């Protein structure tokens, strides 16, 4: 836990909090002694001026204690909130730099729990640490010593009450701690089921799985609730037990103290002070117990946060990045590439070898799961190849600065993702200073002008994930967003499949005529022969292997897989040729 706090919490604020806490405890420890003085020497002897004098001293210590407590709380609250803020920022920027592999290691829902709930646990424990964890030991030692000083004869009461208290605390904590620990994993599960239900709500309805999903959520919810109820019941049980022990201690002090007073072996003031110190001793144990209850849960949270923070992105910048020479003709080359997903037995791609230069279009066609998406994901180095190399503009992608490389590749992923904001905000994603003219031009090529105008132009609102647009419209907006960016390679991963034949053809026609695109390389992943037919180079993939490479005419005449795809589409009247 200390590891994740290091560097994220201000040392000065912590030292300040500790300092004021020490002042508060010293002031609190002085008050019972002054009470005993006022009773023994003032009240008992009727010395009014002594009562005034000690009374003022007591007011002074009380004010000092309050002021120190306020300053301690302020500093502790500030430090713990800052710690939480820094942790959230660090987790977020770490996750943003994750490669695809790391997302497979930690579930997205768990990442959200770790950034929110787990961080709150750390904040809470930091707050408690800066108050109770400092206060309890000082108060325990100070109060025990002062109580013994006030009355040696009554000190044996501690010998009974402290072990009884410790046994009760031990039993309660023994029952509560494992359940406290389980809270985080149960929160994870609850979030996972809730998130899946939310994102898949339409599918759930369409498959009439509402009841199944509801039951699944209820099970997770019930599990979480049962655990919370158990924890709270145990903790609630602690309160009356502690009060009982404290009351019993008080009764014992009054009983035996009274006998000592009547035999003139003790003064009344000393008994009152002893009683207060006894309460402070027992309170210290209770505070320590509370800290112990919070610590395991926070320790579990700290481990979960540390797991994320220590995950190193598998895609790293090289020590000495090579920047492709400016002004040279753009090019893209795959040199005998082999790639395997982590833990996969078979390579997802092997023997991929092709190259393209500025102005050319490379199309990739193949059946479902043949490796098309995997291939294009290697261009912006979302994964590293196992053998061979991927070169963008003449330099191996592994030797380039990752951010610079991403600047060179404009990608339209298979699943179009838009962000909350306006259409303009979304369009500027790849080029912050894009002008409205540039945006309209990109929207025009992407065949989106009409519906964007209908929606209210560039200021039209885009809901979360682009929910207020149809699948085809989202796809076109994602295409336009990529076109706004100045890149040397434009990748369209099955982006035209949601378009009808006519729009698809029009879009590709306009793409070919665009001056900027003419100086770049276009990579199109498609299922339809019509979409790939006019490409300069068509790659035919089958089961991760490159089984055909050439133009439409060449492949049509000699490539069996290509011919089979053509035949199946002609049968279905889909080829559009």
Query: Among residues 240, 368, 433, 464, which is the contact residue for ligand ATP, using CB under 6 A?
Result: 368
Strands 409-412 and 489-493: parallel
CB of 519 to ligand ATP, least distance (A): 28
CB of 332 to ligand ATP, least distance (A): 18
CB of 350 to ligand ATP, least distance (A): 12
Residue 32: its H or E element: helix 11-37
CB of 541 to ligand ATP, least distance (A): 7
CA distance 503 to 273: 89
43 CB-contact burial (10 Å; exposed 0-12 / middle 13-18 / buried 19+):
middle
Nearer to ligand ATP, 2 or 344 (CB): 344
CA distance 382 to 374: 9
Nearer to ligand ATP, 378 or 442 (CB): 378
CB of 545 to ligand ATP, least distance (A): 11
CB of 287 to ligand ATP, least distance (A): 49
**CB–CB of 386/299 below 8 Å?**
no
Residue 477: its H or E element: helix 471-484
Query: Among residues 371, 380, 430, 466, which is the contact residue for ligand ATP, using CB under 6 A?
Result: 371
Cα dihedral: 497, 501, 504, 506 (round 10): 180
372: contact with ligand ATP by CB under 6 A: yes
Please name the residues in contact with 29: beta carbons below 8 A apart, sequence gap of 6 or more.
Answer: 139, 142, 143, 146, 280
Characterise 315 by phi-psi region: left (phi > 0), alpha (psi -120 to 50), beta (else): beta
Nearer to ligand ATP, 328 or 386 (CB): 386
CB of 106 to ligand ATP, least distance (A): 14
Nearer to ligand ATP, 373 or 389 (CB): 373
Cα dihedral: 350, 353, 356, 361 (round 10): -50
Q: How many CA atoms lie within 13 A of 440 on its CB side?
A: 8
80 CB-contact burial (10 Å; exposed 0-12 / middle 13-18 / buried 19+):
buried
Query: Among residues 109, 374, 441, 473, which is the contact residue for ligand ATP, using CB under 6 A?
Result: 374
**CB–CB of 293/173 below 8 Å?**
yes
Query: Among residues 341, 354, 440, 451, which is the contact residue for ligand ATP, using CB under 6 A?
Result: 341
Let me know the angle formed at the C-alpha of 223 by 221 and 227, rounded to the nearest 5 degrees: 115
Six token digits for residue 445 = 């090529």
Residue numbers 392-421 binding ligand ATP by CB under 6 A? 414
369: contact with ligand ATP by CB under 6 A: yes
Where does this chain touch ligand ATP (CB under 6 A) — which range of 142-150, 219-227, 340-348, 424-432?
A: 340-348
Query: Among residues 10, 41, 303, 373, which is the contact residue for ligand ATP, using CB under 6 A?
Result: 373
Where does this chain touch ligand ATP (CB under 6 A) — which range of 39-47, 182-190, 200-208, 365-373?
A: 365-373
211: contact with ligand ATP by CB under 6 A: no
CA distance 65 to 24: 4
CA dihedral for 417, 418, 424, 429, sign (positive or negative): negative
348: contact with ligand ATP by CB under 6 A: yes
531: contact with ligand ATP by CB under 6 A: no
Where does this chain touch ligand ATP (CB under 6 A) — which range of 214-222, 301-309, 363-371, 559-567?
A: 363-371
Q: Could you give the string, one character per residue 148-187, with x where binding to ligand ATP holds by CB under 6 A and - elsewhere? A: ----------------------------------------
236: contact with ligand ATP by CB under 6 A: no
CB of 574 to ligand ATP, least distance (A): 15
CA distance 286 to 235: 12
Give the total of residues touching ligand ATP (CB under 6 A).
12
**CB–CB of 222/189 below 8 Å?**
no
Let me know the angle formed at the C-alpha of 235 by 231 and 236, rounded to the nearest 5 degrees: 115
Q: What is the DSSP string of 97-108?
A: T--HHHHHHS-H
CB of 308 to ligand ATP, least distance (A): 19
Residue 345: its H or E element: none
CB of 342 to ligand ATP, least distance (A): 7
CB of 352 to ligand ATP, least distance (A): 12
501: contact with ligand ATP by CB under 6 A: no
Where does this chain touch ligand ATP (CB under 6 A) — which range of 145-153, 155-163, 186-194, 366-374?
A: 366-374
CB of 372 to ligand ATP, least distance (A): 4
Nearer to ligand ATP, 263 or 368 (CB): 368
Neighbouring-strand partners of residue 356:
332
CA distance 192 to 107: 8
Nearer to ligand ATP, 417 or 420 (CB): 417
366: contact with ligand ATP by CB under 6 A: yes
Nearer to ligand ATP, 359 or 367 (CB): 367
Where does this chain touch ligand ATP (CB under 6 A) — which range of 28-36, 235-243, 361-369, 546-554?
A: 361-369
Query: By three-state DSSP, how is residue 314 classified?
Result: coil
CB of 439 to ligand ATP, least distance (A): 29
344: contact with ligand ATP by CB under 6 A: yes
| 3-class secondary structure per residue, 271-306 | HHHHHHHHHHHHHHHHHHHHHHHHHHHHHHHHHHHH
Nearer to ligand ATP, 146 or 378 (CB): 378
CA distance 339 to 348: 6
CB of 309 to ligand ATP, least distance (A): 23
CA distance 241 to 235: 10
CB of 382 to ligand ATP, least distance (A): 10
Nearer to ligand ATP, 52 or 103 (CB): 103
Q: How many CA atoms lie within 13 A of 9 on its CB side?
A: 27
Interacting residue ranges for ligand ATP, rule: CB under 6 A? 341, 344, 348, 366, 368-374, 414
């Amino acid at each position: 836990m200390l590891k994740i706090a290091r560097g994220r919490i201000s040392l000065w604020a912590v030292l300040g909090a500790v300092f004021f806490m020490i002042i508060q405890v010293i002031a609190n420890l002085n008050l019972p002694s002054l009470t005993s003085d006022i009773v023994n020497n003032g009240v008992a002897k009727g010395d009014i001026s002594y009562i005034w004098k000690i009374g003022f001293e007591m007011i002074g210590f009380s004010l000092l204690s309050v002021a120190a407590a306020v300053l301690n709380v302020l500093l502790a609250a500030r430090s713990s909130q800052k710690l939480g803020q820094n942790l959230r920022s660090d987790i977020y920027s770490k996750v943003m730099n994750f490669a695809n592999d790391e997302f497979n290691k930690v579930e997205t829902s768990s990442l959200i729990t770790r950034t929110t709930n787990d961080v709150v646990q750390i904040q809470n424990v930091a707050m408690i640490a800066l108050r109770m964890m400092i206060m309890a030991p000082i108060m325990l030692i100070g109060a025990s010593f002062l109580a013994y000083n006030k009355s040696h004869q009554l000190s044996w009461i501690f010998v009974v009450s402290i072990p009884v208290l410790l046994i009760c605390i031990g039993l309660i904590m023994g029952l509560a701690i494992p359940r406290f620990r389980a809270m985080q994993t149960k929160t994870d599960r609850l979030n996972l089921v809730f998130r899946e239900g939310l994102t898949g709500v339409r599918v759930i309805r369409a498959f009439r799985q509402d009841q199944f999903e509801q039951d699944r959520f209820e099970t997770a919810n019930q599990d979480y609730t049962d655990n919370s109820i158990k924890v709270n019941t145990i903790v609630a049980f602690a309160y009356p037990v502690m009060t009982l022990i404290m009351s019993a201690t008080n009764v014992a002090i009054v009983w035996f103290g009274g006998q000592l007073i009547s035999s003139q072996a003790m003064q009344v003031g000393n008994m009152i002070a002893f009683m207060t110190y006894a309460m402070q001793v027992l309170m210290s144990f209770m505070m320590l117990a509370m800290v112990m209850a919070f610590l395991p849960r926070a320790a579990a949270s700290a481990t979960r946060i540390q797991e994320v923070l220590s995950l190193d992105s598998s895609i790293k910048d090289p020590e000495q990045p090579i920047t492709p020479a400016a002004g040279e003709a753009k090019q893209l080359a795959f040199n005998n590439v082999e790639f395997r997903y982590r833990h996969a037995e078979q390579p997802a791609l092997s023997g991929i070898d092709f190259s393209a230069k500025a102005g050319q279009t490379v199309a990739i066609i193949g059946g479902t799961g043949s490796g098309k998406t995997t291939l294009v994901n290697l261009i912006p180095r979302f994964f590293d190849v196992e053998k061979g190399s991927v070169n963008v503009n003449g330099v191996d992608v592994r030797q380039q600065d990752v951010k610079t490389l991403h600047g060179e590749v404009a990608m339209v992923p298979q699943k179009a993702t838009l962000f909350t904001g306006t259409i303009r905000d979304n369009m500027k994603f790849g080029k912050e200073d894009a002008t409205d003219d540039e945006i309209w031009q990109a929207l025009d090529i992407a065949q989106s002008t009409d519906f964007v105008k209908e929606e209210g132009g560039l200021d039209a609102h885009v809901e979360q994930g682009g929910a207020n647009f149809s699948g085809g419209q989202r796809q076109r907006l994602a295409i336009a967003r990529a076109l706004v960016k100045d890149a040397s390679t434009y990748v369209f991963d099955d982006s035209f499949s949601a378009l009808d034949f006519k729009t698809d053809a029009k879009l590709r026609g306009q793409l070919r005529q665009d001056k900027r695109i003419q100086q770049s390389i276009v990579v199109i992943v498609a299922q339809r022969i019509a979409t790939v037919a006019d490409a300069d180079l068509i790659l035919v993939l089958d089961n991760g292997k490159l089984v055909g490479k050439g133009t439409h005419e060449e492949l049509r005449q000699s490539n069996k897989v290509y011919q089979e795809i053509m035949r199946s589409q002609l049968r279905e009247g889909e080829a559009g040729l």
